[in-house]
Structure 1
């Protein structure tokens, strides 16, 4: 079976290529804007350079998708946060192009990378199932875009019932090789990343809403493989235990939990973002405080999926990767010190949250 992976050079895409390349009956095709070097997980893959937000994307993607047994749509742009038009172009219009091309090409199976961000605000001491309201957290453009794209996917599913449509909704996705990328996208060039080599976070902010779920990228990749192999449809939540909060993170990284009001967290993010000191706007803090915790019972029951790496270990790997500026040959995971979000980029006038880091 030929599997086309859109966004195959990013965090989840790199992990998925690592997982699928050991499957002898799968022929892999990768789609991304900038092609990776054909080494490591990117070897033995047929590559196509396509900007999914471009006007001709639907036609070009249709050609690539024709004859494929499945399409996995992973492409998503998080930065530059100060250019919402660019993010909408890639995330919403680009996803529409992917969906239209899959329909035109008659692809029998479409798997889409959704997120916990699609859900409306929910509980932090209970777990929601896949039926929870999907209106997102309005203050977060990331969340709004996830909700909008899923509504488009609802129409595809309704209008084309013979197509098997699956959406995976993971929590935060961590792996060591994403260290440089995640630091660029969420922390910026002023983060003293080298201090993380000691495995310590001196102060951990404590707030009742700061309880989040994470999952290792390899476990997400395993879920995609199970989706490709099983005759399943619909949505699946993906997360590993334990839930990450100030007490658990503090114990794991020798930090002191410090109670911080939500308004202070949001205000600090908004001010430093406006001053171009870091790339995360207020919406990301609001999403962290309001996104619900997810039940993964359906993934366990229908896919037989269980994470091999717990959330603390996944976070430990990520922080080690940030400290070591770990990356990969895929352009989104680049270790290049001159990219936006790195100190070298700052010296070249590339301020956090501006410029295209992909």
Structure 2
């Protein structure tokens, strides 16, 4: 096993999301000393959001290299898709088959985190660590955490999300909004709290599009129905700071008005929601080269490197390709220095992540067309 680049060196990964944890797993397979620092209080902290699906050509390749592909299959759920119109009429249904059931099965975010945590050496992840600063001290990175002791590392891998402040050590490029807004909701015990809509899903993900308003729902996210309503951000929001999504009554009223011509089962879904999260879609453009004058080895992976809207299913999958590419470069003995291994990774990442961003952006434009069809999009 050749890991001379990182022999007797310590790697710090910031962020215990799927990409950061997979990176840690791949490094540990090569005997590399790695610690993950995560701001969540503990491993039980609930991760908000819908299920994830790992693609055969990207995310699943990383899982296979990590020795976790069969575990992913066992913990994930192949799901069909029901395409419905705004009146609740089913236009078509796409069911998983024995041949395609492993193409991209859905997995709950916390289930995926636990799977990855179980694959790591004990105490790899240090919880309740909010990074507040980085500096170079005597040839090492000094990591500052809010209310916690400082730590040191020889290599920094930043994977703490699209709005990471530590990104500034690598690039001055700013995150930009793309003009779309997503309101997400969760409903526990959906068979009781929104039974008609739950039956409409019939165990499948449900997708509906009408005049630029879109709904995507998953009735089986570890016992919770998760959904998102997607629309173009109204121009007037720029002047009045938009919608107070944390105000449940206000958000319900806003959504009921926006979907006023939709059938009652959709409105039942909205009324049954007790907590909403609002997400403007953002991306980190990759048109500008990253800094060459970094004081010590540091790079970005996942959303921190290439944040993109979720309209091509490429976000986490692209991040897992980052982990696969970077870990291989650091451990395969092909490079003379850590910086050379990082540079090669970044050159490759810019190519495949730019393609993923382009696909997402093209889908985003299409989705706001009044005649947009989820069926057509998924056939193309």
TM-score (norm 1): 0.33
Structure 1 or 2: larger strand share? 2
Q: What TM-score do you get using the length of structure 2 for normalisation? A: 0.31
Larger radius of gyration: 2
